[in-house]
Structure 1
Amino acid sequence: MFRSFVRQGIVAAASFSMAAAPVAANACTSFVLAAQDGSYVYGRTMEFSMPLHSQLMVIPRNHAFTGTGPDGTAGAGLSWTSKYGAAGANALGLNILVDGMNEKGLGGGMLYLPNYAEFQDVAPGEAKNSIASIELLTWILTNFATIDEVKENLPKIKVNKAPQETFKMPVPLHVTLHDLQGKSLVIEYVGGKLNMYDNPIGTLTNAPEFPWHLANLGLYGNLSPNEPPARKIGGESFAGPSTGAGMHGIPGDFLSPSRFIRATMFADSLPPLATGLDAMDAARHILDNFDIPPGAIRTEAGSDVGGGVAGWETTEWSAVADLKRGIYAIWDYKNPNPRALIFSELDLDAKDIRTVSFEVKADFVNLSK
């Protein structure tokens, strides 16, 4: 699959755009894995310098929402009622999903897109048909079951430039989505224009725009899980010093283009996965490769990254979602043991939104005796 993206001229395009593009370190990484039993498992990391204080959140069916207006006034935007129950992770104590899935197996998340994301101008008469950027995933997961439904209906509303209270600006983000038909979609608002891209590989990180990342794949067409033969020079054979030579040259830094390449290669190189449970296990191991230790990325106050605060960007939490079995599992910086929401056990006809803390103290399992 990976090698199919090496197209004539793609390397030149990626090289040119790389030279011109500002690339931020915001480090969210996402991908999707397919299993032989028809399961699709979506995985992602969440990195930020500013603590997001995320909780698990369950949205029931028939819950009334009112979006934020273009000037930031709560309740001045689009009104809707949730058609489907949804669950995932929120942020900043808000009743919005930044990541999650719904009861129909549509899942995905919002990832930071600084320097590129610019949302739509909304006239006063259009305010009631608009939402803020941070409300986009919630609107999608509570209304639609498939990628095709999202593509049909998203152009009918506006995503406005409402500033978010903590960020003091519209939150610059793009959205990755996956469904049980095996389709993936990237949603980006750039220059005030809605762009929806079918995603043939399922990977998404951060800036630049998604088409840039696809073009950049062509620069790494040499990467392979297969070991190359020994090099013969002057009658002598020179073998690699260890296994892994096929992946020699894979970028290892935390920049979003490098993470895009690594996530794509790791997902594409997996052996066949029999079940969704196998895919969840594999997804967790892939996500471990993107865990950022404290001190690796420092952010400055007032910058466009990490929430604009001074601090250390770390992996705050990671999550995997089995879209077929309806399982959303999450683990955080202090505790690598997954905590899960299982849709078959959730009350999706509850009267109100439910939030659940997933801050559970980690402990050693004593196997001494």
Structure 2
Amino acid sequence: MCTSATYKTNDFYFGRTLDYEFSYGEVVAITPRNYPINFHFIGEVKNHYAMIGMAHIANDYPLYYDAVNEKGLGMAGLNFVGNAKYYDVDEDKENVAQYEFINYILSQCASVKEAKEKLKNINITATQFNDNYPLAQLHYIIADKESCIVVETMEDGMHIYDNKVGVLTNNPPFPQQMFMLNNYMGLSPKQPENTFSQNEKLDFTQYSRGMGALGLPGDLSSASRFARVAFVKMNSKSSPEENSSVSQFFHILNSVDQQRGCCEVAEGKYEITIYTSCCNCDKGIYYYTTYDNHQITAIDMHKENLDSDTLVSYPLITTENIKYQN
């Protein structure tokens, strides 16, 4: 299970959590402009936009979970189990294997507008990376500073939705997630007024701060995480400076953090927030924390040679760094 969000101050930010019961050995990967990307159907592309993101690297191929390209376009794939559907090869369309979809869009599109045009002729195929990597059942969020969309490929075809809240979790499908926000339209960051009854004998007391958000779900289901992170994101305030913006973004996603022991997926196995990411899409700086390391780590793609043909990767720092003051 996962949660993705966008945030905008002076710059545009994009990131996600990865919630799972084990790690696949993720690294922060930088794909320079001249690193050859071998697409299953269209062949090798040697010149493309550079990108940075979280990936599992297999046979020198970055299988991105989330990434941002040098033009400021971000994309992430989130679990969509039971609803995701991929297709047979269609000779009348541009066939793209499921595992390379993020690479395909970010290597060629500079904006959501360009991605929408590409998507008109894309057919996402049920093609595995190899026998050791089964198809991941995902749907996708694609965003830039101007707009955000969700892409879902299902039994009845590909659906592209405008995403006005800039949030995505997992099931149910995106339109249902948005519809369920109707249940929370009465929530507010302000203290509530008594609208329960006009009976003056009913003397209600605001016995706590934060009562305007009573009813905001706190469980770990994907529908509840969607509502909670949408509420937090849409009401977030921070100064526009980088440190404040990045800090606030992590607070937004930390509102749906998963702690070991609270979500049992099998006997003795628990889903946790393996990592949380935040990328400044304008500056190409990728920030992350991990479950056992709350210190924010930053990697700047522009400090690498983006005209190179060599893949760059940084292993995650996964042990806690505690600063002693005495």
> In the alignment, which residue of structure 1 is the partner of 2:149?
185
TM-aligned CA distance change 1:85 to 1:92, over 3 Å: closer
Structure 1 residue runs of 5 or longer lacking an equivalent are: 1-25, 69-75, 302-309
Whole-angstrom distance in 2 between the partners of 1:295 and 1:167: 29
More strand by share: 2
Whole-angstrom distance in 2 between the partners of 1:336 and 1:202: 24
Contact 2:86 2:126 in 1 (8 A): yes
TM-aligned CA distance change 1:254 to 1:164, over 3 Å: farther
Deviates more, 1:225-234 or 1:42-51: 225-234
User: What is the letter of the counterpart of residue 16 of structure 2?
Assistant: R
Q: Deviations over 1:223-275 (max 9, x none)?
A: 11110135675535211220111100001111111001001100111236424
> In the alignment, which residue of structure 2 is the partner of 1:245?
211
TM-aligned CA distance change 1:359 to 1:166, over 3 Å: farther
Whole-angstrom distance in 1 between the partners of 2:270 and 2:68: 29
Query: 1:1-369, aligned counterparts within 5 Å?
Result: 26=1, 28-35=2-9, 37=10, 39-68=11-40, 78-91=43-56, 93=58, 94-123=61-90, 129-163=94-128, 165=130, 169-180=134-145, 182-191=146-155, 193-230=157-194, 233-271=199-237, 273-300=239-266, 311-368=269-326
Q: What is the deviation of 1:352? A: 1.5
Whole-angstrom distance in 2 between the partners of 1:329 and 1:136: 23
Whole-angstrom distance in 2 between the partners of 1:166 and 1:46: 24
Whole-angstrom distance in 2 between the partners of 1:220 and 1:326: 35
Whole-angstrom distance in 1 between the partners of 2:302 and 2:89: 40
TM-aligned CA distance change 1:171 to 1:82, over 3 Å: farther
Whole-angstrom distance in 2 between the partners of 1:269 and 1:92: 37
Whole-angstrom distance in 2 between the partners of 1:133 and 1:144: 17
Deviates more, 1:319-328 or 1:234-243: 234-243
TM-aligned CA distance change 1:107 to 1:119, over 3 Å: same
Whole-angstrom distance in 2 between the partners of 1:98 and 1:312: 20
Equivalences, count: 322
SS at 1:282 equivalent: helix
Contact 2:5 2:253 in 1 (8 A): no
Structure 2 residue runs of 5 or longer lacking an equivalent are: none
Q: Deviations over 1:62-88 (max 9, x none)?
A: 2222234xxxxxxx6654334111011
TM-aligned CA distance change 1:169 to 1:192, over 3 Å: farther
SS at 1:83 equivalent: coil
TM-score (norm 1): 0.81
TM-score (norm 2): 0.91
Identity of aligned residues (%): 25
Contact 1:58 1:354 in 2 (8 A): yes
Contact 1:48 1:315 in 2 (8 A): yes
Deviates more, 1:352-361 or 1:199-208: 352-361
Q: What is the deviation of 1:111? A: 0.6
TM-aligned CA distance change 1:77 to 1:83, over 3 Å: closer
TM-aligned CA distance change 1:276 to 1:40, over 3 Å: farther
Runs of 4+ more than 6 Å apart: none
CA-atom RMSD in angstroms? 2.3
TM-aligned CA distance change 1:364 to 1:260, over 3 Å: same
